A and B are shown apart, each in its own frame.
Chain A
Amino acid sequence: MSLLVDILLVFQRHARISLRNPLWIIIGLSQPVAFLVLYGPLMTSTLSTTGVPAERAWQTYVPGVLVQLSLFGSAFVGFGVIAEWRGGVIERLRVTPVSRVALLLGRVLRDVALLVVQAGLLIVVALPLGLRASVPGVLAALGVVMLLSLGLACLSCALALTLKSEDTLGPTLNTALMPLLLLSGVLLPMSFAPRWLDMVSRLTPFRYIVDGMRSAFQGDVFSTTVLSTVLIAFLLSVLSVLLGVRTYLRQSA
């Protein structure tokens, strides 16, 4: 019980500080719109030259953007952790009886909440542009990106507390994320890829997540593709949260 109260208190703190920052809100809300408006038409018209109907093109594109938002939105939350560590905020909170797990979860839940708002906005804006999608499918996809964000944000915080340097964290994240993003088929579906690239892409988790979310948008909510995606996202998330918690529980972190 006190864990939940702690999580809520830490979440409220981070949410309040963010909401007072107009830049954070503007960037947070304009990002998904920019993705849609500046790249969506290019993607859909490219797909349509290969014979994919416009409706199908949006069903392919929007889930990809959701994964991309989740990836980049949550992967960089570690920067805030380093700033807090440097300012002594983490130490100050650690010396109170607050649960260490709450210090992690309360913080990353703010990022998950932001993602949900961004994802909702993205879908609403995509509707007039031509998106048609199954409602249960969209909800399932939202669940998947929430799990994904939760896990990635925890990993990012853990990595930040271990590295304790912005100069190392940035390149590390970029090096890890760039290939994962390219191989996931977010930008263009992997069905266009040469066979070897398709095989490599099947070795990365996000490939399955993106594929599953696209199926979900098309309405096959209870297909094995979607169910295995949910399972993969869940396992990734649990593992990452555990790793993050372990780092936060360590004495000198």
Chain B
Amino acid sequence: MSIIEANGLTRTFRAGRQTVAAVRGVDVRVQPGEIVGFLGPNGAGKTTTLRMLTTLLQPTSGTARIAGADLRTEPREVRRRIGYVAQYGGTDPNALVEEELFLQARLYRIGAGPARRRVATLLTQLDLDGLGTRPVGSLSGGQRRRLDIALGLVHEPQIVFLDEPTAGLDPHSRNNLWEHIRRLRDENGTTVFLTTHYLDEADALCDRILVIDHGRIVAEDTPANLKRQLAADVLTVDVAGDPDAARRLLAGLPGVRQAAVTAAGGLQVTLADGEQGIIDVITTLAGAGFGVRALQLARPSLDDVFLTLTGRGLRDDPNGPTPPTPTTERAEHVPAR
């Protein structure tokens, strides 16, 4: 049984006299224990969908069951069962680390004694030992992000929603945070639903990816499958002999989508499946008497996938086609940085 099951979620905003559809019918299925990445360019409907799934925003239409509770009729029950870590955290810089955690635990109706023990456990679990009595404002970026995540975990939720968990972190802190997210699933079986617009993050961390664009899910699969289906591997071959003759030979092979001679006289072969294709190419060339001097296989990145799906990169230029920002609703926070 799915732990997240959403059907036909939509959300429209009123911006002045205009009605803007931010989300136009999103279906989501997530199995328990999955790490699912929710990808999309700015303004695609990521945050709006996330805020609907976490009870912060009432859907205009559609239904959802989150961890067995109905989103529309039992929002309080949903809140009890999920953790949510917003993009900009939500801690007060003047509050103390352990104060924030303790308050959060108490708000989830955990008694004072167990709450204190839970705070201690979380501080250790997220490498925040010794920082309990520090003001939140004095933490480093990575530490603060780990605190944010700890806040989302105080009540040991079945699902945790992470909105852009590593945005703005340095590479070391990002890797460290990925480790924590993986451990969350591996050790506690927590389901993780995260939004990101870092493709390497989705690639490294997620079992499955949902791609949203213009308020609709446009693709849904494992990172490897998405790459295989939507972006081809490109093999560059430096052949000894007539490159054009080699090109004609390879163009007829099954699994070769395209073969071309580059300006430098090399061969560029576009393959549906690089791992299988590379063997076919080499054996075919060798069988026809061509020597192979060098080979290079370029695997597609999720960036390529994204470009194929949406016709634009993930971190698109701000002048690109973005829907108007609704005034009655904050789509994104104004970053405080």
Chain A contacts to B: CB under 8 angstroms: 2, 5-6, 9, 12-13, 16-17, 20-21, 84, 86-98, 164, 251-252
CA gap between A205 and B87 in the complex, in Å? 44
Q: Which residues of A contact B94 (CB under 8 A)?
A: 17, 20-21
> Please, how many residues of chain B have a CB less than 8 angstroms from a CB on the other chain?
34
A87→B336 CA distance, assembly (Å): 7
- Which residues of B pack against A, CB within 8 Å? 54-58, 76, 79-80, 82, 84, 86-95, 99, 103-104, 106-109, 151, 328-330, 333-334, 336
* A164→B93 CA distance, assembly (Å): 20
Residues of chain B lying within 8 A (CB to CB) of residue A90: 90
Contacts of A95 in B (CB 8 A): 54-56, 79, 82, 84
Q: Within 8 Å CB of B151, what residues of A?
A: 92
Known: A13-B95, A17-B95, A20-B94. A88 touches B104 (CB 8 A): no
Least CB distance from B200 to A in Å reads 25
Q: Is the CB of A88 within 8 A of B86?
A: yes
Q: Is the CB of A96 within 8 A of B79?
A: yes
Q: Decide if B107 touches A252 in the complex (CB within 8 Å).
A: no
Complex CA distance for A94 and B51, rounded to whole angstroms: 11
Number of A-B contacts (CB under 8 A): 77
Contact A96-B89, Cβ < 8 Å, known A13-B95, A17-B95:
no
Complex Cα distance A132/B328, Å?
Answer: 53
Interface of A is mostly: helix
Nearest-CB residue, chain B, relative to A164: B330
A86 touching B334, Cβ below 8 Å:
yes
Q: Which B residues lie within 8 Å of A98 (CB)?
A: 107
How long is the Cα–Cα vector from A2 to B80 in the complex, in angstroms?
14
From known contacts A92-B86, A97-B79, infer whether A251 and B58 are also in contact, taking CB-CB under 8 Å: yes
- In the assembly, what is the distance between CA of A236 and CA of B55, in Å? 32
Residues of chain B within 8 A of A97, CB atoms compared: 76, 79-80, 107-109
The residues of B that contact A87 with a CB separation of less than 8 Å are: 88-93, 336
Q: Bound state CA distance, A16 and B97, in angstroms?
A: 13
Given contacts A88-B333, A251-B58, A252-B329, contact A93 B107 (CB under 8 A): yes
A-B CB contact pairs (8 Å), 14 listed: A2-B109, A6-B107, A9-B106, A17-B94, A17-B95, A86-B333, A86-B336, A91-B86, A92-B89, A92-B91, A95-B55, A97-B76, A251-B56, A251-B58
